[in-house]
Structure 1
């Protein structure tokens, strides 16, 4: 389970998050939506242990990230697909991750196959990867330890239609196996296809939290999103 409970985060007197609470249950995909500057990335960074809340509590599997005994096996994260060293090959990135987790090298080949990177592609330096290939590699790195929770920020960014379909099937399969998935994306139609629940935030506050049926009331997700966020949009600080 992934949970934020009354989380507030303040930067230089400005509230990036303001009393935010929501829960992602095992076996489900929750779409995390909001305009630029709404606080999505801040919330995900707090969940991943990269920032501390000013107040409130953020937990994965019942504990703050820093208190997880084996975080690589508990939670997989993709917050920035471009964060890997450009001079390393895709295989080297996954091999280093596997070594850190104490996993056999065979897991690297399993993950490469899972995310659709060929042996030739895996042997190339990341500087030559397309954005879509970087995303596949980042998703693979997040899945190395077979985590029970996933926190993914814009994982479909740069994927072609075939790649988006692959990601949709992957996430639904992971949820079916019991994984709790938190998914941030600007591709509202794709979120509509894969998510069980939607959390929308604007200006650092939760605007809506519920199933698609509960939130839509006969509207598309895009129409619902625009209606809820039009009055709360603010320029990123």
Structure 2
């Protein structure tokens, strides 16, 4: 389970995230939606203990991320596929992560197969990878410890349509095994296809949180709902 409670992060006079609260339960894929600058990445980084909040906080599996024993094996995350070591091969990147997590080397072949990277591709340096291949390797890193929570920031970037369908199936299978999945994206249509829960954020504030049916309401279209909510937020901001 992921629980975010009154999370606020200020940079000077700017509220990157403003009193954000939501919960994602086990067995759920939650789509975390908003445009660039809405506060998605800041929220995910705060959940993972990488960005200290100004106030409020977050717990994963009932405790702050930093208090989890061997947290990388409990919580799989992908925030930036370019953070992988470009001079090492995909397999070497995974081997180092497996060593740090205490994961057996046989798991490396399993996750490479899960994400569709061949042995030949895994032996190439990451610096030669396309963005889509980096995303697949990043997801493999997130899955390495067979975690019960997945936190993924824009994992569909660089994937072709077949890759997006593959990722959708991967996340649904993870949720069916009881995994808690928080998926950040601006690809509204694709998130609608996979999510049990939609959390829409704009200007650092939660605009909507609920099942797709509840969030969509009478419009029946996620794009229309999002535009309506963001327009309302913009008017409120101008009025204040």
Q: TM-score, length-normalised on structure 1?
A: 0.96
SS at match of 2:26: coil
Residue aligning to 1:223: 224
Corresponding residue for residue 14 of structure 2: 14
Cα-to-partner distance string for 1:178-222 (whole Å, 9 max, x where unaligned): 000000111111100100010111111111001110011242111
Residue 152 (structure 2) aligns with: 152
Alpha-carbon distance between aligned partners in 2 of 1:40 and 1:11, rounded to the nearest angstrom: 15
SS in 2 for 1:222: helix
Deviation at 1:169, TM superposition (A): 0.3
Distance 1:216 1:231 in 2: 15
TM-score (norm 2): 0.95
Counterpart contact for 2:35–2:202, Cα < 8 Å: yes
Report the Cα offset of residue 20 of structure 1.
Answer: 0.5
1:4 has 2:4 as partner: yes
Match of 2:74 in 1: 74
Question: C-alpha displacement at 1:132, in angstroms?
Answer: 0.3
Give the alignment of 1:182-197 within 5 angstroms: 182-197=182-197
Match of 1:23 in 2: 23
User: Would the aligned equivalents of 2:200 and 2:206 in 1 still touch at CA under 8 Å?
Assistant: yes
Aligned residue for 1:207? 207
Aligned: 1:60 with 2:60: yes
Contact kept, 8 Å, 1:34 with 1:229, in 2: the verdict is no
Q: Structure 2: give runs of 5+ residues left out of the alignment.
A: none
Judge conservation of contact 1:26–1:180 (CA < 8 Å) in 2.
Answer: yes
Relative to total residues, which structure has the larger helix share, 1 or 2? 2
Quick one: distance in 1 between partners of 2:231 and 2:106?
A: 49
- What is aligned with 2:117? 117
Q: Deviations over 1:70-111 (max 9, x none)?
A: 201210110001111111100000011111111111110001
CA distance in 2, matches of 1:124, 1:197: 37
Offset, 1:62: 0.8
| 3-state SS of 2:3 partner | strand
Q: Which residue of 2 aligns with 1:129?
A: 129
Residue 230 of structure 1 deviates from its aligned partner by 2.6
| SS class of match (2:233) | coil
Measure the CA separation in 2 of the matches of 1:187 and 1:7: 24
Query: Runs of 4 or more off by more than 3 Å in structure 1?
Result: 231-234
Q: CA deviation at 1:37?
A: 1.0
- Whether the 8 Å CA contact 1:73–1:147 is kept in 2: the answer is yes
Distance 1:137 1:230 in 2: 37
Distance between the aligned counterparts of 1:42 and 1:72, measured in 2? 19
Q: Report how far residue 49 of structure 1 moved.
A: 1.0
Question: 80-89 or 211-220: which moved more?
Answer: 211-220
Deviation at 1:35, TM superposition (A): 1.7
Question: What stretches of structure 1 of length at least 5 have no aligned partner?
Answer: none
